């Protein structure tokens, strides 16, 4: 009996984390399914778990099969995720941007003329690590995004004092298509509003 109780205690964090949300999943061929989804633990998880019924059998779909999905959160809000390709940017010459083929699961934070996404890392109660993730930014009409910044479990940027480095990334990415956007960048506004500020500022200065 004691062994059983101890085993349940050890498994409890894993059991709690295995939560399925009411969801709709859409595949690359345009077809879709309604059901329940367990959010990926890591942005680069190769598969996602899906059930048509709350107590139904678990199906697994590869990230390369999925276009997007949306869930209904505990606050009864719709959160949307896409499968997103990433690009590498050289630290020595940031204009050297190399699109990649590998995808991640990314939450849509804000979409417009440019878009902001977030890849989340689940919090691990056992090791007390994780919780937070990475912001990515994408230009319109491109199928890849670029690393922008990291954030903690509260959604706030891990490095609020790294504005000069952020500006270097944005300059290399946008100086040829909208220099006015770069001229208008404000460190103070970024500290107040966070990364979504960049999307709004771009719309104001460069939107159609």
Instruction: Give the pLDDT score at 95.
Output: 84
Q: How distant is the alpha carbon of residue 104 from its chain centre?
A: 8
Domain ranges in the chain?
17-206
Specify the pLDDT at position 3. Answer: 43
- In this prediction, the residues of the chain whose per-residue pLDDT falls under 50 are 1-17
> What pLDDT sits at residue 161?
65
Dist. CA 201–CA 125, nearest whole Å:
38
Q: What is the CA radius of gyration of the chain?
A: 19
pLDDT of residue 12: 38
Q: What is the dihedral of CA 170, 174, 176, 178, to 10 degrees?
A: -120
How does pLDDT run across 103-113, given as a tens digit for each residue?
A: 999 999 999 89
Is residue 101 within a helix (H) or strand (E), and if so which, with residue range?
A: strand 97-110
Pair 65, 27: CB distance under 8 Å? yes
Instruction: Write out the DSSP string of 41-98.
Output: SSTT-SEEEEESSTTS--EEEEGGGEEEEEEE-TTS-EEEEEEEEEEEE-SS-TT-EE
């Amino acid at each position: 009996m004691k062994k059983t109780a101890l085993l349940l205690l050890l498994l409890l964090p894993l059991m709690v984390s295995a939560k399925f949300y009411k969801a709709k999943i859409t595949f690359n061929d345009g077809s879709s399914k309604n059901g329940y989804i367990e959010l990926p633990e890591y942005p680069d998880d190769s598969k996602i778990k899906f059930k048509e019924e709350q107590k139904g059998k678990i199906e697994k779909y590869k990230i390369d099969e999925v276009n997007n999905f949306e869930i209904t959160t505990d606050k009864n809000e719709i959160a949307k995720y896409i499968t997103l390709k990433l690009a590498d940017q050289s630290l020595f010459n940031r204009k050297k941007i190399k699109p990649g083929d590998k995808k991640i699961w990314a939450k849509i934070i804000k979409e417009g003329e440019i878009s902001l996404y977030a890849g989340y890392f689940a919090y691990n109660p056992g090791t007390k690590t994780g919780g937070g993730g990475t912001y990515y930014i994408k230009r319109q009409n491109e199928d890849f995004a670029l690393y922008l910044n990291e954030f903690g479990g509260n959604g706030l940027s891990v490095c609020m004092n790294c504005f000069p480095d952020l500006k270097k990334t944005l300059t290399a990415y946008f100086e040829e298509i909208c220099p006015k956007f770069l001229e208008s960048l404000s460190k103070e506004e970024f500290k107040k509003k966070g990364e979504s500020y960049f999307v709004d500022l771009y719309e104001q200065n460069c939107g159609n």
